[in-house]
Structure 1
Amino acid sequence: MNAIPEPAAHGADAVNAALERFAGARLWAATQAPYLASALFALTPLPHDTAPPRPTADEHWNVHLHPSTTPTTPVPDLGWWLLHHVGHLLRDHHTRARPFEAERWARAADAEVNDDLPDAAPADAISPESLGLPDGLLAERYAELLDLIDTPPHLTPCADPPFTGPEAMTALERELLSRAVAAEIEARGTAPGGWRRWAEATLRPEVDWRATLARLVRRGLAQAAGRVDYSYRRPSRRAAAVPSIVLPALVRPLPRVTVLVDTSGSVTRPALEQALAELDGVLRATGHQRLDVICCDTQAYPAQRVRAAAQVELVGGGGTDLRPGFEAAERGADVLVVLTDGDTPWPPHRPRPYVVTCLFGDRHTAPHWAGAVRVPHGKGPG
């Protein structure tokens, strides 16, 4: 990408006129979408002769304006394009584009952004409706769907400029601005659905629960493996000098893992099966060849020792009280993994095993003494 050209050759009057029109358009845009006002006023206008007739923005929050066409562009039109570019910048489209061909990604990103903008859009602006696609999708999904349809030829994406400008904000400042805008959107509650979903994802990004579960289980295994004991199964080498005396040696046994499964009616079977499969993979990677599973609703059912998660028979289906399950598991476990929605009485004291809870949904929490990973709604089965 080329560096920004020299300042416009049109003279100070043309540049000032472009800047004045930009200021008016930005104010218009802020009245149309007040929840984006902070982002709009973070834009830096850069008038220069090689800018395209229509305003464009680069990833450093610079808006490139042509000194000839900008002063004659109606304020609502220019303001609409400012909202359009703020949408691209806040949603980080310039870094999300890598897996896709450039023009297809540009159309898809335009569809995601323009879906949430005021109705005063230019006639050639791309929208989900103009593409014949459903609204409310992410650009990645639009890019996939564009492979399956013929795009109307008159719809041209707003291409990225072939130049950039000075870095108006650092990466940290851009991140703080995005979070501030997201907080404003959430506080007002009047933004379109796409912007509300973006704000939710920005303020509370979804964590990869599978990776978190694996990390917590491995931590518990490492902690339990640190416990050593004396055993006569492996005689001490120091006793070799006195053949008649057998001394025990220090051993580090493989930690025993038990899975406590909440099989009450409030937890779906597909979610439990998926979590068990994930846990099965983690344990196999650490050398565990068997899985001890205790199902529990208001009573603890007999432990099942299986070679694979698919062999577990999920029994139960009544109310929820996992305390009997904790009592049954505590006797033989070093690490206890609990699969539950959290709607249960918990033991009043920290159990002896290292406890990891895998919580389905977001209505309940785990005790302070347990590591926790939360599985969002609908994420259990895949």
Structure 2
Amino acid sequence: MNRPVDPESPEQRFAAARTWAAGRAPYLASALFALTPLIHDTAPPRLPADEHWNVHLNPATLRDTPVPELGWWLLHQVGHLLRDHHARAERYRRPTPDPHPAGEAEAPGHAEAGKRARWDRAADAEVNDDLEGGPADAITPDALGLPDGLLAERYAELLDLIDDVPSHLLTCGRPPFTGPGTMTALERDLLARAVAAGIEARGDVPGGWRRWAEARLRPEVDWRTRLAAVVKRGSAEAAGRVDYSYRRPSRRAAAVPAIILPALVRPLPRIAVVIDTSGSVGRTELAQALGELDGVLHAAGHRRIDVICCDSEAYPVQRVRAAAEVELVGGGGTDLRPGFVAAGGADVVIVLTDGDTPWPERRPRAYVVVCLFGEGGTAPSWAHPVRVPRPAGVGSAT
């Protein structure tokens, strides 16, 4: 004989909340039913989920919270999981040197705790941007006074500029432990792709989820990755132009002791950076690209960088050890052709510009990489372009 089902049991309350959530957002139904419930007394009240798709449920919370509110929190947690917030939070978990020496008011570890809290708020803001009808103390971009439609990383940056987050706003919290994984990484990836495909097939989906689905199914290659790839490829091509040198005698000279033969050498290619310092390019953008380029070149073994600032004329070459040492000079009209002339002896030329410039009519001997800021501007057919998006909130010039 079957026992009667208790509709107020934790399991049934969870089932009812999940059904409510699937009805509210059917495009997330497969993700909701992939959750594994772990019911225990130590679970925080807001149904936190771990990276293995376990949702931690407190029996008291399930008993005392209305089913629609429970369902809302399930949608919230699925948002964290599908957007891979656990992995994206890794940079905010890494320890950073405490800027306060021992004996000052701020204790060691305070900076790390603040960084983690900032990420928790930013991740909640990204998820709740697309969720209506949540609790009054849930974190949303509007409650923080921030714009809609941003990623958590951008919200984290903006939260640095906010003096005080309203004290009544609370994050969803973290589970007290991570439960055993019920899905492999491949299964989680396939699930996310299936949800994204379902979202693309529908027309009644919030904009944030539609953007997520498009990025999941057709991810764009990050400009930093592409910059590193093309610069390294150019360096390899230039280094492949081997030459003879007497600094390292050929091994064949041992067979003829009276004759010294040169050996083939693979020199480190000379790299020049031409920076468009006309009024149309923002200093913030240039600093961002220079910082990335600095890391790429140092990783490739280049200890010095030749930098040429150019607006309508080329300024003297600056040989620096780090991008932070570059003095940006100029600010007039734009014509980068003198910059190419000044970089004539380089094997690889890297140009930082918005593309609004005349280009040399003839292809230079060097391997040319053009970092284009924003959506406008073009690079010549003989160059290797890298499109660098403008930082959010930055205009054409700063």
> TM-score normalized by structure 2?
0.63
- Residue 310 to residue 78, structure 1, CA distance change in 2 (3 Å): closer
Give the letter aligned to residue 374 of structure 1.
R
CA RMSD across the alignment: 5.2
Unaligned stretches of 5+ residues in structure 2: 95-111
Question: Would the aligned equivalents of 1:104 and 1:146 in 2 still touch at CA under 8 Å?
Answer: no
Query: Shift of residue 145 of structure 1?
Result: 7.9
Q: Partner of 2:103 in structure 1? A: none
Residue of 323, 336, 339 corresponding to 2:349: 336
Q: Partner of 1:221 in structure 2? A: 235
Question: SS of the residue aligned with 1:339?
Answer: strand
Question: Would the aligned equivalents of 1:360 and 1:377 in 2 still touch at CA under 8 Å?
Answer: yes
Give the letter aligned to residue 228 of structure 1.
V
Give the letter aligned to residue 390 of structure 2.
H
Query: Shift of residue 294 of structure 1?
Result: 7.3
Query: Shift of residue 360 of structure 1?
Result: 1.3
Identity of aligned residues (%): 55
Q: Deviations over 1:24-55 (max 9, x none)?
A: 54343234334434422333456x57586967
Question: SS of the residue aligned with 1:172?
Answer: helix
- Residue 273 to residue 150, structure 1, CA distance change in 2 (3 Å): closer
In the alignment, the residues of structure 1 paired with residue 327 and residue 160 of structure 2 have an alpha-carbon distance, to the nearest angstrom, of 37
Q: Partner of 2:144 in structure 1? A: 133
- Residue 66 to residue 288, structure 1, CA distance change in 2 (3 Å): closer
Residue of 4, 21, 24 corresponding to 1:32: 24
- Answer yes or no: is 1:151 the counterpart of 2:167: yes
Which protein has the larger Cα radius of gyration, Structure 1 or Structure 2? 1
- Residue 317 to residue 31, structure 1, CA distance change in 2 (3 Å): farther
Q: Deviations over 1:99-154 (max 9, x none)?
A: 654995797355554454222x346x433599x632457474698689846734xx
Question: SS of the residue aligned with 1:76?
Answer: helix
Give the letter aligned to residue 32 of structure 2.
L
- Residue 80 to residue 251, structure 1, CA distance change in 2 (3 Å): closer
Q: Partner of 1:6 in structure 2? A: none
In the alignment, the residues of structure 2 paired with residue 146 and residue 310 of structure 1 have an alpha-carbon distance, to the nearest angstrom, of 31
Question: Would the aligned equivalents of 1:323 and 1:347 in 2 still touch at CA under 8 Å?
Answer: yes
Q: Deviations over 1:44-93 (max 9, x none)?
A: 456x5758696725322234557898588644233222212212323444
Question: SS of the residue aligned with 2:144?
Answer: coil
Q: Partner of 2:308 in structure 1? A: 293
Residue of 297, 300, 305 corresponding to 2:317: 305
Question: Mapping of 1:132-281 within 5 angstroms?
Answer: 133-135=144-146, 136=148, 138=152, 140=156, 148=164, 151-152=167-168, 158-162=172-176, 165-182=179-196, 195=209, 204=219, 207=222, 209=224, 213-214=227-228, 216-230=230-244, 238=253, 250-262=264-276, 266-268=280-282, 270-272=284-286, 275-276=289-290, 279=293
Q: Partner of 2:108 in structure 1? A: none
Residue of 77, 81, 84 corresponding to 1:89: 81
Question: Would the aligned equivalents of 1:337 and 1:357 in 2 still touch at CA under 8 Å?
Answer: yes
Query: Shift of residue 330 of structure 1?
Result: 8.2
Q: Partner of 2:368 in structure 1? A: 355
In the alignment, the residues of structure 2 paired with residue 312 and residue 52 of structure 1 have an alpha-carbon distance, to the nearest angstrom, of 54
Q: Partner of 1:42 in structure 2? A: 34
Question: Would the aligned equivalents of 1:58 and 1:165 in 2 still touch at CA under 8 Å?
Answer: no
Query: Shift of residue 337 of structure 1?
Result: 1.4
Question: SS of the residue aligned with 2:351?
Answer: strand
- Residue 34 to residue 267, structure 1, CA distance change in 2 (3 Å): farther
Q: Partner of 2:106 in structure 1? A: none
Query: Shift of residue 252 of structure 1?
Result: 4.4
Question: Would the aligned equivalents of 2:223 and 2:387 in 1 still touch at CA under 8 Å?
Answer: no
Residue of 382, 387, 391 corresponding to 1:374: 387
- Answer yes or no: is 1:98 the counterpart of 2:93: yes
Question: SS of the residue aligned with 1:84?
Answer: helix
Give the letter aligned to residue 33 of structure 1.
A
Give the letter aligned to residue 353 of structure 1.
A
In the alignment, the residues of structure 2 paired with residue 361 and residue 219 of structure 1 have an alpha-carbon distance, to the nearest angstrom, of 24
Question: Would the aligned equivalents of 2:275 and 2:309 in 1 still touch at CA under 8 Å?
Answer: yes
In the alignment, the residues of structure 2 paired with residue 140 and residue 78 of structure 1 have an alpha-carbon distance, to the nearest angstrom, of 27
Count of matched residue positions in the alignment of Structure 1 and Structure 2? 359
Question: Would the aligned equivalents of 1:290 and 1:305 in 2 still touch at CA under 8 Å?
Answer: no
- Residue 170 to residue 296, structure 1, CA distance change in 2 (3 Å): same
Query: Shift of residue 288 of structure 1?
Result: 5.7
Query: Shift of residue 317 of structure 1?
Result: 1.5
In the alignment, the residues of structure 2 paired with residue 290 and residue 146 of structure 1 have an alpha-carbon distance, to the nearest angstrom, of 37
- Residue 149 to residue 353, structure 1, CA distance change in 2 (3 Å): closer
